[in-house]
Structure 1
Amino acid sequence: MRSKQWTATNQPHLCIFLDKAAVKTRADSPWMLCPVTQVEETKQMMKMLPILIATIIPSVIVAQSNTLFIKQCTTLNRSMGPHFEIPPACLQAFVTIFMLISLVIYDRLFVPTVRRYTKNPRGISLLQRLGIGLTLHVIIMVTACLAERKRLKVARENQIFGKSDTVPLTIFIFLPQFGLVGIADAFVEVAKLELFYDQAPESMKSLGTS
């Protein structure tokens, strides 16, 4: 038996108190009386707030790939051959590369295969896709932790404590976490946009996707 698909309209009436805004009283001010449509749309948006809050942490992790991860890369050995050093920010390109590869694999292989069992046109629900992405973000932080421990261990072993000193460790030790960020984005960001676009009221779709 398939579980009922999540929508913002079939959730418990947690925002039922907003119905009072549509109750006509003696006051004729538009600030004291709202159309039922506006009340229902507001309730629909409020029911999606927990999902929005749950995706704040992944957004923070993505920001780390543009700041902290790059700063860590500047301390490592960036040599590729005797006369060339790659810029630390170049690893950021792997986020986009892995995301594009993941999207192709997801759409062309994963969805058709899973669709046979779930009977869902999307393969899996948007919340399941979001959950996979959140799990990947946990793995990203574990991977980043292990890479940083390795970097600090090598720095201590070689007595490297200066800001401009180079740790004798290849920069590509941070490649897995950049790749995982791209894969996680293919799940979290896409699912988040689709979910808010699908569930947001017609008059608030631009607000939901923003």
Structure 2
Amino acid sequence: MCRFLNKACVDTGSSTSDEWMLCTITQVEETKQILSLIPIWVATFIPSAMIAQINTLFVKQGTTLNRSIGNFNIPSSSLAAFTILTMIITYIIYESFIVKILQKLTKNPRGITLLQRISIGFIIHIVIMIVAWLIEKHRLSVAKKHEVPSSIFILLPQFILMGIAEALLEGAKIEFFYDQAPESMKSLGTSYSLTTTGIGSFLSSFLLSIVSRVTEKNGRRGWILDNLNDSHLDYYYAFLAILNVLNFIFFVIVSKLYVYRAEISNSLEVLETNLTEKKENFKTGKVDYLVPEPLDFEAGSEWPLEMTDDNAVVSST
């Protein structure tokens, strides 16, 4: 990708060339790496737009429902607390238990790759919109037939699922852009993940505005009106579900094309695990490690290296 940038480090021998016209190989490779993140970055816009639904349409749905518990009325915006609570619980469970299980299965220090973790978040976003569509369809049916609002707690599934999705997606997104950015551009990598939130909010407003205008043409009743009981918010959620499916397909394509930047881990735990595996391979005659200096030993003899910080060198394969 971006191979045309290689020309920037080719010395043409021109007498007019100066330092601004010739780049080092490192500068070119770092630029190519930061540009290769853009397709993944673009793919995260739609999920970020879905997050904006928590404080907009999800909350507005709550105002049309029965919010009373005894003499107390629950603020519809308070349901967002379930999203935050679910996010915290999911993150703790994932990091404490699920990652350890996945490490044993995949031999990956992270359990699964960051892009795989992001993709799971994408899939859950599709499920969220399908669930929101079904719940809104049920809410409209009850409101029109019985003229009695349903309980606000029927919205809990979409708030809880949003928390699960964000625990998997947001953490992996921040870690991915920071980890894959070149060493001299780590702050730019972090900004990639942070800007998606703002872009998602603008995109959410843009989609809402466009859909409202298109569906209200020729005097038709729009999908999104001030009175949700006269609207078709369920159609809008179905539209968002389809949009998420298309975005997921795009994400899968760009993920397949993406080449991971070589990771440099300072984790002693990972280093010890790799060295232990290589020690076992040596004892069984399967020599597939690198050592600092050529040593004279035979496969099957005692392990010649102590596991110290000075002589621990792990193969990149």
Instruction: Give the structure-1-normalised TM-score.
Output: 0.85
Q: 2:14 matched to 1:24?
A: no
Q: 2:177 matched to 1:189?
A: no
Aligned to 1:95: 83
Distance, in Å, in 2 between the alignment partners of 1:42 and 1:154 is: 56
Q: 2:93 matched to 1:112?
A: no
Alignment of 1:8-157 (within 5 A): 14-25=1-12, 26=14, 27-81=16-70, 83-157=71-145
Percent identical pairs in the alignment equals 57
Distance, in Å, in 1 between the alignment partners of 2:19 and 2:153 is: 61
- Residue by residue over 1:65-88, the C-alpha shift from the partner in whole angstroms, topping out at 9 and shown as x without a partner, is 12111111111110011x100111
Please state how far the C-alpha of 1:31 moved relative to its aligned partner. Answer: 4.5
Distance, in Å, in 2 between the alignment partners of 1:118 and 1:17 is: 36
Distance, in Å, in 2 between the alignment partners of 1:93 and 1:193 is: 22
In structure 1, what residue type is equivalent to 2:183? E
Q: Secondary structure at the match of 2:74?
A: coil
Unaligned runs of 5+ in 1: 1-13, 160-166
Distance 1:76 1:30, change over 3 A: farther
Distance, in Å, in 2 between the alignment partners of 1:31 and 1:145 is: 55
Q: 2:160 matched to 1:179?
A: yes
Q: Secondary structure at the match of 1:32?
A: coil
Higher relative contact order (CA 8 A, sep 6+): 1
Please state how far the C-alpha of 1:33 moved relative to its aligned partner. Answer: 2.7
Please state how far the C-alpha of 1:152 moved relative to its aligned partner. Answer: 1.3
Alignment of 1:197-208 (within 5 A): 197-208=178-189
Q: How many residues align?
A: 189
Q: Secondary structure at the match of 2:110?
A: coil
Aligned to 1:170: 151
Distance, in Å, in 2 between the alignment partners of 1:21 and 1:122 is: 36
- Residue by residue over 1:4-40, the C-alpha shift from the partner in whole angstroms, topping out at 9 and shown as x without a partner, is xxxxxxxxxx210011122234343555333322211
Unaligned runs of 5+ in 2: 192-317
Bigger Cα Rg: 2
In structure 1, what residue type is equivalent to 2:79? L
- Residue by residue over 1:169-189, the C-alpha shift from the partner in whole angstroms, topping out at 9 and shown as x without a partner, is 111111111111110011111
Distance, in Å, in 2 between the alignment partners of 1:137 and 1:28 is: 52
Distance, in Å, in 1 between the alignment partners of 2:189 and 2:69 is: 45
Please state how far the C-alpha of 1:155 moved relative to its aligned partner. Answer: 1.9
CA-based RMSD of the aligned residues comes to 1.5
Instruction: Give the structure-2-normalised TM-score.
Output: 0.57
In structure 2, what residue type is equivalent to 1:109? F
